[in-house]
Amino acid sequence: MIGTRAGTDPSAAPVMIGSHIDTVRTGGRFDGNLGVLGGLEVIELLEQHGVRTTHPVSVAFFTDEEGARFQPDMLGSLVYVGGMALEDALDVCAADDGARLGDELTRIGYAGPTPCPAAAAPHAFVELHIEQGPVLEDEGVTIGAVTGVQGISWTELTITGQSAHAGTTPMRLRRDPGYVAAAINTGVRALAKEMGASQVATVGRCEFSPNLVNVVPATVTMTVDLRNTDEVLLQQAESVFAAYTDALAEEECVTIERRTLARFEPVEFHAAMVDLVESTAQRLGHSTMRMPSGAGHDAQMLARVCPTAMVFVPSVNGLSHNIAEHTSLADVTAGADVLLQVVLAIAGVTS
């Protein structure tokens, strides 16, 4: 959904502010919502004070940023910038219940008529967001000038062995996908620790079938999330992980089917936009630091088509995707102030 406030130049592309309003099942109130409400606050202030800008100013929120139910993540903004065909996106089905995205959008009244991809790219895109991690709070810094976003590699693995009696099947004769899943869980953590730097690895979902206390499972379906700010290192992690799982499959005489859920290369934001966020925050008296984003964001998709920047504010205790997610009013206000001034600088004030 996109709302636009007209500028004085009807031919000028809009400066877009945006984020998302979807979250994960365990999510809090700030993830995504802050960027959308911050954008609406900017529009309200411009209206209240009669400020006219050369460029139009748009506020947008994009469908399915999280990718929690329908993959890949950032799906709405990916379609908006032409990175995925609309028809393909609408046909994506949820892993849990098989629901089709297009049908679900119709069911909740979100199947809008706006053409995708967009007819023209925005002039620039700015996203205000909570950090979703502990770094800003730990450093005692108010504003993060985001330099880019980590690359993301999501894989779903289906491990198939032989369901058997837990008491009568000797360990040496088992084909146990549960063991393989456990080894993958510890293995990817060891991989990330060994690579160090910005490499992270997470097993986010693990489902056993038949999931009974006294039965060696027949199958395990699990997800592995690998991320790195360096594409070469991310590819290295993927290669090591693939070899590791192949060896496990051979050892335990199981099969492993892999399905890519999401794969995005690291993104670097427009240098001048990062400079603008940093200098604006400092001019307003806020402490700053440059930092990459560990989480994926709609901004990384918009960066494909226009100059893009993000403004981070601290997350209390580094918590996000958690109902305890919180950012202080003072930090929210600081972030919104920086957002406003950055937008004014890019959009151009005429009166």
pLDDT bracket for residue 112 (50, 70, 90)? confident
Angle among Cα 246, 248, 251 to the nearest 5 degrees reads 110
Q: 108-112, 134-138, 268-272: which range is least confident on average?
A: 108-112
Per-residue pLDDT averaged across 209-235, rounded?
A: 98
Tell the CATH superfamily of the 2-149+267-347 domain: Zn peptidases (3.40.630.10)
Alpha carbons 198 and 314: distance in angstroms, whole number:
20
Domain covering 151-264: architecture: 2-Layer Sandwich (3.30)
Does residue 132 have a pLDDT over 90?
Answer: yes
Contacts of 163 (CB under 8 A, 6+ apart): 210, 215, 216, 217, 218
pLDDT digits (tens, 9 = 90+) for 235-288: 999 999 999 999 999 999 999 999 999 999 999 999 999 999 999 999 999 999
Does residue 158 have a pLDDT over 90?
Answer: yes
pLDDT bracket for residue 10 (50, 70, 90)? very high
Does residue 116 have a pLDDT over 90?
Answer: no
Please state, rounded to an integer, the average pLDDT across all residues of the chain. 97
**pLDDT given for residue 197 in this prediction:** 80
Q: Where in the chain is the domain with CATH 3.30.70.360?
A: 151-264
**pLDDT given for residue 139 in this prediction:** 98
Q: Where in the chain is the domain with CATH 3.40.630.10?
A: 2-149+267-347
